Structure 1
Amino acid sequence: MGTNFKAILIEHDGSRHSVGLTELPWDRLPAGEVTVRIACSTLNYKDALAITGKSPVVRKFPMVPGIDFAGTVEESSNSEFKRGDKVLLNGWGVGEQHWGGLAEVARVKPDWLIPLEPTFSFAQAMSIGTAGYTAALCVMALERHGVTPGSGEVLVTGAAGGVGSVATALLAKLGFDVVAVTGRLEESDYLTKLGAKRILPRSQFSEPGKPLAREQWAGAVDVAGGQVLANVCASMKYRGVVAACGLAGGMGFPATVAPFILRGVTLAGIDSVMCPREERREAWRRLARDLDASLLDTMTERVPLDACIPVADRLIAGTVRGRVIVPISNE
């Protein structure tokens, strides 16, 4: 590799937020035992928040965003990884506190990397990315708490987004009857192709409702939070399980304890950032086994590194369907 590399760089001087594609010298890379030549990265909702400055997700500046990447080990002083190994990274504060994946190269701690599943190409792994890996963690949580295809319908909110798309596809492949909730009913055909049996408008969940509503769902994957999550919990079946992994609809939770103490509903929190390494490896093994890889092209938009900044605005506006990947090298 050359002495310089391209990267999206965010700078903030206390009042002014700036972001642009720039070329940086190799010696600007942060400390770490493993240097990875990035083949493909992604643009996630959290990356869009960082790039636009809409939320203070970046903890130190300057910062290279990008919470995901896949690529090939270029240099390693750690015995677990050697030059030429194919690896991927999701989370661990990368793109927030440590330079991330929207660049040609990254230098990270070995504990943050896992081997790329042989089933997936770099692009396929990033088509799944943190969103799909989080969806897999949600499905694993539902199963761990006893939800089976025979338990009843499973609800997925934000179904046309990254997490929701993969959750819908995974659950359908496993035999669940998936009910997809979306604010974009024009995406109904897309959601049906992913395996959704029914599609409901988000408006049915976005207004204040009863503390306990009619029992409907055996399980749910929620990316919204806020009023949507409160209404989802209120309409769970007895001993239903909700896997909550997002806040697209707000940080609040305007609910009562009624679903939990009268119906035994479980609210399972899903954190993908600091998830233990073995559990994340299991999630990727499950994705390799249970996700129909032929659906990935349907749910993926490809953008070059220099187009990430305008696409971040679209992500914040909620107009992006599925996943956005950023091919960086030709591997």
Structure 2
Amino acid sequence: MDSFRALVVDRQGDSLSVKVQALTLDRLPEGDVTIRVRYSGVNYKDGMTVVPNGPIVKHFPHVPGIDLAGHVAASNDPRFKEGDEVLVTGYGLGVSTYGGYSEYARVPGDWVVPLPAGLSMKEAMALGTAGFTAALSVHRLEEAGLAPGQGPVLVTGATGGVGSAAVSMLAGRGYEVTASTRKEEEHGFLQELGASEVLAPDALRMPEGRALHRERWAGAVDPVGGSFLPHVLGTVRYGGGVALSGFTGGADFATNVYPFILRGVQLLGIDSVLCPMPLRKRTWERLTGELKPSGLLSAIAREATLDELPDALDAILRGEVRGRVLVAL
């Protein structure tokens, strides 16, 4: 093999170039395991890597893609051998080192997860970082005491990757799910995933000057954050939790202590990047069974090629992506 294709981001002054280029294996970073990548996915964080002067990538040229699935092409790690099916999400992939938008990738062996039986590489990346984050959110909420039958569970940003996966997972587990989205045209899509109610975000706002409102949600999955998070916290039922995993609505929010000290509400931070390997593997195992979204490939994923990636990255930043975009390499 003389060369392979990758999406390369390079800085030119204050602007970035984003284009498909031919690379050779000696351009890949150091690592124990070289992977022939078959699939990756498009995440909001990937979109941030192509924003000029963005906060995600510090060194250029760079290959984005914070998740990948493929076959081991070469390994110096005794845990993996040529031909093994594997996946990688999080750690420094696509941020501090070259990522999944490349036909070949090289990573430390400690980042690699054997592909669980019962999950294809395509399905694994239809889930990807977004599905993994949604599964961690459900796990943390249940660990904090959430169970079916306690009342409706709210999912914000429900047409996005994390949100749509969470709606399907929760519904499949027997929860009553309320989905929140600004996109009226997507109500049918969310109901197909299992949402029993779909609300516009404005319906979640509390009356002006109120610190708490009537208890409504048994729990919430929130990949949005920002100004709506205080309203969610103020309407969660006593002892309930909010699993917070993103900031598409902004990184800052202003709230008060009342939900925490008067209702015992728990704000649960979800970290899919440095999630410990034992929990990471257990979560991927759950994604082969009880947390595997119904109709995963048809309901959540659509495909893009490397050449179509720049448009897909722009679209996710504009909030125009429904569910997951699957990248076929």
Coarse TM-score class (shorter-chain normalised): over 0.9
Structure-to-structure mapping, 1:219-298, within 5 angstroms:
219-290=219-290, 291-298=292-299
2:256 is matched by which residue type in structure 1? T
Following superposition, the deviation at residue 247 of structure 1 comes to 0.2
CA shift for structure 1 position 282? 1.1
Q: CA deviation at 1:85?
A: 0.4
SS in 2 for 1:271: coil
2:322 is aligned to: 321
Question: In the alignment, what sits opposite 2:218?
Answer: 218
Q: Does 1:185 align with 2:184?
A: yes
SS in 2 for 1:37: strand
Q: CA deviation at 1:211?
A: 1.4
Match of 1:5 in 2: 4
Tell me how far apart the structure 2 counterparts of residues 84 and 116 of structure 1 sit (CA, whole Å).
12
Task: Name the aligned partner's letter for residue 243 of structure 1.
Answer: A
What amino acid is the match of 1:305? L
Counterpart-to-counterpart distance in 2, 1:295 and 1:91: 21
RMSD: 1.3
TM-fit CA distance, 1:159: 0.7
Q: 1:252 to 1:205 in 2, by over 3 A?
A: farther
Maintained 8 Å contact 2:303/2:328: yes
Letter in 1 for 2:223: V
Residue 58, structure 1, aligned to residue 52, structure 2: no
In the alignment, which residue of structure 2 is the partner of 1:71? 70
Deviations 1:152-211 (A, max 9, x none): 110000111100111000000111000000111211111111110111001223688521
5 Å matches for 1:70-149? 70-149=69-148
Native 8 Å contact 1:86 1:116 kept in 2:
yes
- Return closer, same or farther for 1:49/1:139 CA change in 2, 3 Å cut-off: same
Residues 105 and 215 (structure 1), Cα distance of their counterparts in 2 relative to 1, 3 Å cut: same
Contact (CA 8 Å) 1:208, 1:231: kept in 2 or not?
no
Q: 1:208 to 1:70 in 2, by over 3 A?
A: farther
Kindly tell me the number of residue pairs found equivalent between the two proteins.
327
Structure 2 unaligned blocks of 5 or more: none
TM-fit CA distance, 1:14: 4.7
How high is the TM-score relative to the length of structure 1?
Answer: 0.96
**Matched position secondary structure for 1:81:** coil
- Tell me how far apart the structure 2 counterparts of residues 214 and 146 of structure 1 sit (CA, whole Å): 20
Q: Give the Cα–Cα distance (whole angstroms) in 1 for the partners of residues 293 and 183 of structure 2.
A: 23
- Please say if residues 225 and 248 of structure 2, whose CA atoms lie closer than 8 Å, have aligned partners that are also in contact: yes
- Structure 1 unaligned runs (5+)? none
Question: 1:253 Cα shift?
Answer: 1.5
Q: 2:156 touches 2:180 (CA, 8 Å); kept in 1?
A: yes
Q: Which residue of 1 aligns with 2:302?
A: 301
| Deviation at residue 295 of structure 1 after TM alignment | 3.4
Q: Partners of 1:20 and 1:208 in 2: how far apart?
A: 48
Query: Identity over the aligned pairs, expressed in percent?
Result: 45
Return the alpha-carbon distance in structure 2 between the equivalents of residues 293 and 186 of structure 1: 21
Q: Separation in 2 of the partners of 1:294 and 1:236?
A: 30
Give per-residue Cα distances to partners, 1:20-56, cap 9 Å, x unaligned: 1100122111000100000111111111111233732
Q: Measure, in 2, the Cα distance between the counterparts of 1:186 and 1:258.
A: 36
